[in-house]
């Protein structure tokens, strides 16, 4: 079995843990590969290019940012991602750093579960943005921060509302507990298929979060009297929409695949700070 490891590059601790994972995995009979971008930091013979070279499983060592950027580079490649927490935020990650040997043992014996999470696809000017697992945040651009966005939000051929405020968040279920939740959106079971629309600080009273069927086509149109808008995919990639332009968001053709080892603690982790 070929296992590729992607570390958080600016974390010395994650780099050292990656070295231990590579060595232990190799001793356990796996063919271990390291992300080619880490070649200067990690001396390892087998390397792979994320999104181009095929492996059977990827281990991301870092926080949510490392996981999300890994998925962006994978694109449509259906490769499961195992996740080890080593960052400031690791809600998407289910393996603690000290559990890496148990994780490798369970990979060798097949004692893990593949879980699918819906992603979103955004199209703008005929170009597809990186798929979003957390959200597409559509906000007033940095060049016009003192102005409010003026946005028309459509579901298929029906306008949901005209929104005046800071912007709107379009999220799949796993992203309902990220930026969308902070903006007042609902918690949605992560393995469901749905599209969540959450307004950001709306001035217009009628604008409230809505949950749409996964087959919906959501169109976000910048009004002609709106400032330019910035579309941010999972905090990693952005484009600017000018007044009068629109972006179309649908379910992505391929879900994100996660190799899960400790599955029973989703709501415990979500609500533990409330207890």
> Is there a contact between 61 and 3 (Cβ–Cβ < 8 Å)?
no
Annotation marks residue 64 as catalytic:
yes
Query: Which pairing describes strands 47-48 and 31-35: parallel, antiparallel, or unpaired?
Result: parallel
CA distance 40 to 60: 18
Q: Tell which residue, 125, 99, 128, has the closest CA to residue 111.
A: 99
- CA–CA distance from 226 to each of 22, 146, 155, 194 (Å)? 51, 12, 20, 28
* Catalytic residue of the set 35, 64, 94, 166: 64
DSSP string covering the chain: -EEEEEE-TT-HHHHHHHHHHHHHHHHTT-EEEEEGGGTTT---S-EE-TTTS--SEEEEEESHHHHHHHHHHHTT----EEEEE-SS--TT--B-GGGHHHHHHHHHHT--EEEEE--EEEEETTEEPPPBSS-EEEEE-GGGTTS-EEEEEEETTEEEEEEEESEEEEE-GGGGGTHHHHTTPPP--TTS--EEEEEES-SSTT---EEE-TT--EEEEE-TTSPPEEEEETTTEEEEEPTT-EEEEEE-SS-EEEEES--TTHHHHHHGGG-
Catalytic residue ranges: 64
């Amino acid at each position: 079995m070929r296992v590729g490891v992607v570390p958080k590059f600016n974390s010395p601790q994650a780099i050292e843990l990656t070295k231990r994972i590579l060595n232990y995995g190799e001793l356990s009979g796996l063919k271990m590969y390291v992300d080619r971008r880490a070649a200067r930091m990690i001396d390892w013979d087998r390397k792979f290019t994320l999104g181009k070279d095929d492996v059977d499983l990827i281990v991301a060592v870092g926080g949510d940012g490392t996981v999300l950027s890994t998925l962006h580079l994978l694109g449509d490649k259906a490769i499961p991602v195992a996740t080890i927490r080593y960052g400031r935020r690791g809600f998407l990650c289910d393996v603690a750093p000290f559990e890496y040997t148990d994780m490798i043992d369970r990979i060798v014996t097949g004692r893990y579960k593949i879980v699918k999470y819906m992603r979103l696809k955004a199209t703008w000017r005929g170009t597809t943005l990186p798929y979003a697992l957390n959200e597409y945040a559509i906000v007033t651009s940095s060049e016009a921060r003192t102005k409010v966005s003026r946005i028309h939000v459509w579901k298929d051929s029906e306008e949901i509302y005209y929104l005046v405020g800071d912007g709107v968040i379009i999220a799949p279920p796993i992203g309902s507990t990220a930026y969308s939740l902070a903006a007042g959106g609902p918690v949605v079971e992560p393995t469901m298929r749905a599209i969540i629309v959450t307004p950001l600080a709306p001035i217009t009273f009628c604008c409230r979060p809505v949950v749409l069927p996964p087959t919906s086509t959501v169109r976000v149109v910048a009004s002609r009297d709106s400032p330019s808008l910035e579309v941010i995919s999972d905090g990693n990639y952005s484009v600017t929409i000018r007044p009068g332009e629109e972006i179309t968001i649908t379910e992505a053709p391929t879900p994100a695949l996660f190799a899960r080892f400790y599955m029973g603690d989703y709501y415990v982790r979500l609500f533990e700070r409330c207890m």
